[in-house]
Amino acid sequence: MSVVLSVRDLSVDYGQLRALSGITFELRRGQTLAVIGANGAGKSTLLGALAGLWAPAEGSVGFNGRDISALPAFVRVGLGIALVPEGRRLFASLTARENLLTGQQRGRSGGWDIAAVVELFPLLEALLDRPSGRLSGGEQQAVAIGRALMGNPELLLLDEVSLGLAPVLVEQLYAALPRIQAAGATVLIVEQDVGQALAVADEVVTLLEGRQVLHGAPSQLRREDIIDAYFGARAA
């Protein structure tokens, strides 16, 4: 399996604050990587750095063998990197359909269109012409994922897509993952629910205060080590 994403010694600063430092991992085609860590650990910062929202202070991001560290976000979308941001960030006054179409604009061509998204999330069919600001949290999350898919991503970055959703909706979102992968996407998820993350992930990276504490396959990691890494028991 070829390496899709290669993160090398990545650091990200917000002004004086070093939010991430020394992050190093690879992600192979078709694999799912879960990034876990407590509030403020740097998970969203990592996804933003992969999507091109902020440039690395040090280190590099490689995508399909090419160093993309200096490329802006819209160029990365065109290469096949799509972010479903924390909090969804839909255009509230636009309809669900219009939000989905925005995902196509800078994206790649491929098999995803509105019909395919509706097939994946049937609940959207009746909602396409409704302003997205009037949808429930779960419905908005389906639109946000659909919008990312409309760009035919090769790397899909999911930031806390299950936060605040009813369990049945979380189940539906996760049930959609295999079909998204079958369509060619490699997936990186940030998830607060560690059990959920470990259930779907081939690899796990644990962040604590901006540093990478653990990295490995869930089967190779001991549950207590993951919990320690998450809460910083070792650091304390």
Question: Nearer Cβ to ligand ATP, position 41 or 124?
Answer: 41
Question: Nearer Cβ to ligand ATP, position 150 or 173?
Answer: 173
Helices vs. strands in the chain: H and E counts, helices first: 8, 10
**Pairwise CA distance, residues 77 & 79, whole Å:** 5
Q: Token pair for residue 2?
A: 């070829």
42 binds, among Mg ion, ligand ATP, none (CB under 5 to 8 A by kind): ligand ATP
98 part of the interface to Mg ion, by CB under 5 A: no
225 part of the interface to Mg ion, by CB under 5 A: no
In the complex, what is the shortest distance from the CB of residue 42 to ligand ATP, in angstroms, rounded to a whole number?
4
Beta strands in the chain (DSSP E): 3-14, 17-28, 32-36, 58-63, 66-67, 81-84, 155-159, 186-190, 203-208, 211-216
Q: Within 9-161, where are the H helices?
A: 43-51, 73-79, 96-102, 114-120, 137-149
Phi, psi dihedral angles at 81 (to 5 degrees) = -110, 120
Question: Nearer Cβ to ligand ATP, position 96 or 204?
Answer: 204
Q: Token pair for residue 130?
A: 């409704």
Residue with tokens 């430092």: 21
Interface residue with Mg ion among 13, 26, 58, 86 (CB under 5 A) is 86
39 binds, among Mg ion, ligand ATP, none (CB under 5 to 8 A by kind): ligand ATP
Question: Nearer Cβ to ligand ATP, position 69 or 95?
Answer: 69
Closest of 31, 21, 154, 158 to residue 85, by C-alpha:
158
Interface residue with ligand ATP among 4, 5, 7, 19 (CB under 6 A) is 19
x/- track of binding to ligand ATP for residues 78-117 (CB under 6 A): --------x-------------------------------
Question: Nearer Cβ to Mg ion, position 4 or 83?
Answer: 83
| Number of chain residues interacting with ligand ATP (CB under 6 A) | 12
- Ranges within 38-57 binding ligand ATP (CB under 6 A): 39-45
44 part of the interface to Mg ion, by CB under 5 A: yes
Phi, psi dihedral angles at 177 (to 5 degrees) = -55, -50
17 binds, among Mg ion, ligand ATP, none (CB under 5 to 8 A by kind): ligand ATP
DSSP category for residue 189: E
> Would you say how long the chain is, in residues?
236
Q: Give contact residues for ligand ATP (rule: CB under 6 A).
A: 14, 17, 19, 37, 39-45, 86
Binding site for Mg ion (CB under 5 A): 43-44, 86
